[in-house]
Structure 1
Amino acid sequence: MAEGAVGPRLYCCFKCRNLVSCHDDIVSKTFRANNGRAILFSHAMNIILGPKEDRQLITGVHTIADVYCSDCGELLGWKYWKAYEESQKYKEGKIVLENFKIVKENW
């Protein structure tokens, strides 16, 4: 997109450019994943969820589901279904997308 693009700032799958989230849906940019930095979003679209499973993460055990691009099937991150510690409850229902798996569009 050209400089000064009009419209919402978007995030897309790095592989196929499928729209997966909007800048306005960012909750936190300070997340970490196995492969580096990640962003916590309140909402994502054009995704497929894998099966729910309990996984040990940096902040404790959570029930999560992997998140895949609905177009190309690329693993992009995960969705939090349940947090077992009270301090982590804010993550429930939110989606983490790894920085290196998404690209900015319309910036």
Structure 2
Amino acid sequence: MVEFPGHRPTFSCRNCRNPVAFWQDLISKEFWGKSGRAYLFHHAMNIVVGEKEEKQLITGLFTIANISCSNCGEVMGWKYVQAYEPRERFKEGKFIIERTKIIKEY
């Protein structure tokens, strides 16, 4: 588990408080996950990326990989691996983390 000294605001796993993303990596709060609201991040840390799978989502067909907390194993969302619609390619390499799976810490 990576830890960062100082007072950088982070989002942490709700179960185990493992830091998974920095506030400055947040792109949008206007996304949806399996359990409701979700955030889109440039980067995520302290996660395990699962197997790739093709998935039809609201905005089109994507290759995604589920992401889990590296400490407790909680599935937190997914990584966009490939977008098949040109207008959705900006999501490639980015992370969806479900709001119900994280807490904001200072």
TM-score under structure 1 length normalisation: 0.92
Q: Which residue of 2 aligns with 1:49?
A: 49
Tell me the amino acid that sits aligned with residue 19 of structure 1.
P
Q: Which residue of 2 aligns with 1:3?
A: none
Q: Which residue of 2 aligns with 1:15?
A: 15
Q: Which runs of 4+ in 1 moved over 3 A?
A: none
Q: Which segments of 5 or more consecutive residues in structure 2 lack a partner in the other structure? A: 1-5
Q: Which residue of 2 aligns with 1:88?
A: 88
Cα deviation, residue 94, structure 1: 0.1
Cα distance in 2 for residues equivalent to 1:18 and 1:89: 29
Cα distance in 1 for residues equivalent to 2:33 and 2:69: 17
Cα distance in 2 for residues equivalent to 1:34 and 1:48: 18
Q: Which residue of 1 aligns with 2:3?
A: none
Cα distance in 2 for residues equivalent to 1:86 and 1:96: 19
Classify the secondary structure of the residue corresponding to 1:55: strand
Classify the secondary structure of the residue corresponding to 1:93: coil
| Residue deviations 1:8-32 (CA, integer Å, cap 9, x gap) | 2100000000000000001111001
Greater Rg by CA: 1
Cα distance in 2 for residues equivalent to 1:19 and 1:33: 19
Q: Number of residues paired by the alignment?
A: 101
Task: Say whether residues 1:70 and 2:41 are aligned partners.
Answer: no
Q: How much is the aligned-residue C-alpha RMSD, in angstroms?
A: 0.9
Classify the secondary structure of the residue corresponding to 1:44: coil
Q: Which residue of 1 aligns with 2:27?
A: 27
Q: State the identity %.
A: 50
Cα deviation, residue 35, structure 1: 1.2
